[in-house]
Homo-oligomer: A and B are copies of this chain.
Amino acid sequence: MATKSHPVTRHVVSINDLSKSEIETIFDLAQAYLTEYSDPNLPERIGRSSNLAPNYILASLFYEPSTRTRLSFESAMLRLGGTFITSADPTTSSAAKGESLADSVRVITNYADVMVIRHPRDGAARLAAEYSSIPVINGGDGSHEHPTQTLCDLFTLKKKNKRLKNLKVAIAGDLKGSRTIHSFVYALARFGADIVPMAAEGMELPPHVDRRLREEFHCNFVPGDGSIDALYRTPEEPHQPALFSGPDFELSVNVPGGNLSPGEEAVQRRKIDAVYVTRFQKERWAEAREGYPKIDAKFLKDAKYSHASVLHPLPRVDELDASLDSDSRAVYFEQAAYGVPVRMALISLLLGLQRGKSLRKFEGGFEAEDVPVYDQPLNAGIRCANANCIVHEPKESPYVRNKFHIVKSESDKGCRLRCLYCETDIDRFFVASRKNKWYTDDTSELLHARDPGIKDFLAFADEADAVNRGFHSKRHSAARASQR
List, in ascending order, chain B residues with CB within 8 A of A464's CB: none
**Please, could you name 7 A-B residue pairs with CB atoms under 8 Å apart, sorted by A?**
A49-B54, A57-B79, A66-B93, A67-B87, A103-B314, A110-B337, A321-B398
A106 to B42, CA, bound (A): 13
- Is A245 in contact with chain B by the CB < 8 A criterion? no
A residues within 8 Å of B by Cβ? 1-3, 6, 8, 41-42, 45-51, 54-57, 59, 62, 65-68, 70-72, 74-75, 78-79, 81, 83, 85-89, 91-99, 103-104, 106-113, 133, 279, 282-283, 314-317, 321-323, 325-326, 333, 336-337, 339-340, 398-399
Task: Name the distance in Å between A396's Cβ and chain B's nearest Cβ.
Answer: 10
List, in ascending order, chain B residues with CB within 8 A of A95's CB: 67
A321 to B399, CA, bound (A): 10
Given contacts A6-B41, A315-B98, contact A57 B85 (CB under 8 A): no
Given contacts A42-B6, A57-B49, A67-B94, contact A316 B81 (CB under 8 A): no
Is B322 a contact of A398 with CB atoms below 8 Å?
yes
Report the copy number of this chain in the oligomer.
Answer: 3
Task: Name the distance in Å between A83's Cβ and chain B's nearest Cβ.
Answer: 5
A47 to B109, CA, bound (A): 10
Closest 5 pairs (CB-CB, A-B): A49-B55, A322-B398, A99-B315, A75-B111, A67-B94
Given contacts A2-B325, A71-B87, A85-B78, contact A316 B111 (CB under 8 A): no
Extra inter-chain contacts (16) besides given A68-B94, A75-B85, A323-B398, CB under 8 Å: A1-B325, A3-B325, A3-B326, A3-B333, A45-B109, A47-B113, A62-B92, A67-B87, A71-B85, A78-B83, A86-B86, A97-B279, A98-B282, A110-B333, A111-B339, A111-B340
Could you say which of B70, B103, B110 contacts A316, with CB atoms under 8 Å apart? B103
Is B89 a contact of A88 with CB atoms below 8 Å?
yes
Is A81 a contact of B55 with CB atoms below 8 Å?
yes
Task: Name the distance in Å between A237's Cβ and chain B's nearest Cβ.
Answer: 34
Closest to A9 in B: B41
A475 to B108, CA, bound (A): 64
List, in ascending order, chain B residues with CB within 8 A of A316's CB: 99, 103
A42 to B316, CA, bound (A): 43
Is B49 a contact of A65 with CB atoms below 8 Å?
no
Given contacts A67-B104, A83-B83, A326-B2, contact A75 B57 (CB under 8 A): yes
Is B314 a contact of A67 with CB atoms below 8 Å?
no
A242 to B120, CA, bound (A): 59
Is A107 a contact of B68 with CB atoms below 8 Å?
yes
List, in ascending order, chain B residues with CB within 8 A of A8's CB: 41
Given contacts A67-B108, A75-B57, contact A92 B94 (CB under 8 A): no
